[in-house]
Amino acid sequence: MTRPAPNTAPNAPVLVVGAGLSGAVLARELAEAGWPCHVIDARPHVGGNCHTARDPETGVMVHTYGPHIFHTGDAATWAYVTRFARFRRYTHRVKTTSRGAVYGLPINLHTINQFYGKTLRPTEAEAFLATQADTSITAPRNFEEQALRFVGRDLYEAFFKGYTQKQWGCAPRELPAAILQRLPLRFTYDDSYFNHPYQGMPEDGYTALTQAILAHPAIRVSLNTTYTPDLADGARHIFWTGALDGYFDYALGRLGYRTLEFERFTATGDYQGCAVMNYADADIPYTRITEHKHFAPWERHAKTTCYREYSRAAAPGDIPFYPIRLVAEQALLKRYVARAKTLENVSFIGRLGTYRYLDMDVTIREARAAAAQFLAQGGTLAPFHINPLA
Ligand code: UDP
């Protein structure tokens, strides 16, 4: 994609492509420092994939692109989001159905005792799992080795193997160990899904949060607006939060993503008793069912909206969700990064711009850091503020 020469006039406007969390936070930080920003998004709403909307049939606030739970260990990021929205207390607890029984995730003392039919105390459970673990694996090189090393084959096969195969469409031994490292392993009865001290749900949803971040007189938002080079006319800089390969019109090929399909259904009352029920068995085609009303336990609704979630490889035109980052994608990513590094006055940020599996808090922290550096450098920034190949 070509673009005109940058406008180097002081405080010339900045074009931000994408109105998800990255774009909104970046624009807000620049706007507060006096830089006018034009934020565009091809979709009819802000919030990117954390968009939420009320289901007109049930009144339930639905996470349109799948479950998003805000959690962070970073007090500054928590202070930042709570400036823009009232967060309600919400502790994410996940259940999984495996071989006809229901267990709690992440694997904790209750899961271990229930699975093995034991009554172990913490130190006993730790010693027991050590007998299950494959200690010949010292440095796990992939997802499967990570699981075998830390929980052993039984738990791996019951909870991770089938789910991961469905979620990623490949054998777990082809995936990086880092994907499993997202999940804690606990020898207590604490069944909170996340270890982070700050956790909650924005009372009016993530779209309202994003709108509040964007509500600044120096920010103009254009929805239903696909990027074309003329939009960059007169711009000082472009922040691109869309897909990295999309910026180059996929000239070198397409970076692989998993996309999700949601089968919506409604019911009366409470369908499953929790927000997220995973389905670990390989012969059940979906990975999980999300019952959205449980994300807002302070609300009351007679009816309920659920999404059955299916994962598959993204084809052109599909919404990209999870970057795959296997060996082939890493090689292609390297080539796109090299090409991007030749650009001036364009920076790539966020999950799609840097092709990484990012949580919302990291996205926000990185967008703020990129904005701070842009401002500190008087309105310039390298194509990458972080290293997407790391
Ligand atoms: N995972 C699994 N079984 C589960 C839940 C997670 O095997 O019941 C694996 C799976 O590979 C998944 C990864 O752990 O992609 C990370 O899970 P997380 O819940 O963080 O995924 P997300 O909610 O971001 O899709």
Catalytic residue IDs: 182, 186, 258, 288, 309, 357, 359
81, part of any domain: yes
Same domain, 210 and 177: no
Q: 68-108: per-residue pLDDT in tens?
A: 999 999 999 999 999 999 999 999 999 999 999 999 999 99
Same domain, 145 and 112: yes
Q: Read off the pLDDT of each residue in 215-239 and give the average, rounded to a whole number.
A: 96
Q: What is the model's pLDDT at position 325?
A: 87
**Domain with 22 in it: what CATH number?**
3.40.50.720
Task: Supply φ then ψ for residue 39, to 5 degrees.
Answer: -105, 125
pLDDT at 352 over 60: yes
Q: Which amino acid is at 240?
A: W
Same domain, 82 and 230: yes
- Is residue 168 within 8 A of residue 178, CB to CB? The reply is no
Predicted confidence band of residue 328 (pLDDT cuts 50, 70, 90): confident
Q: Read off the pLDDT of each residue in 24-43 and give the average, rounded to a whole number.
A: 97
280, part of any domain: no
* Ligand 1 center to 164 CA (angstroms): 7
Q: 367-376: per-residue pLDDT in tens?
A: 999 999 999 9
Of 65, 46, 14, residue with least CA distance to 232: 14
Same domain, 38 and 140: no
Q: How many independent structural domains does the chain possess?
A: 2
Same domain, 218 and 77: yes
Residue of minimum CA distance from atom 20 in ligand 1:
182
176, part of any domain: yes
What's the whole-number average pLDDT of the chain?
Answer: 96
Same domain, 162 and 206: no
Of 95, 321, 270, 295, residue with least CA distance to 206: 295
Q: What is the model's pLDDT at position 12?
A: 83
* Ligand 1 center to 256 CA (angstroms): 18
Q: Alpha-carbon distance 76 to 18, whole Å?
A: 24
Same domain, 238 and 337: yes
* Ligand 1 center to 31 CA (angstroms): 36
pLDDT at 164 over 70: yes
Please state the separation of Cα 370 from the chain's center in Å.
19
Structure tokens, 33: 């420092």
Q: What is the model's pLDDT at position 300?
A: 98
Q: Alpha-carbon distance 256 to 211, whole Å?
A: 30
119, part of any domain: yes
Name the residue range of residue 346's domain: 14-53+70-90+201-252+324-376
pLDDT at 169 over 70: yes
Q: What is the model's pLDDT at position 2?
A: 52
60, part of any domain: no
Residue 359 alpha carbon, nearest atom of ligand 1: 24
338, part of any domain: yes
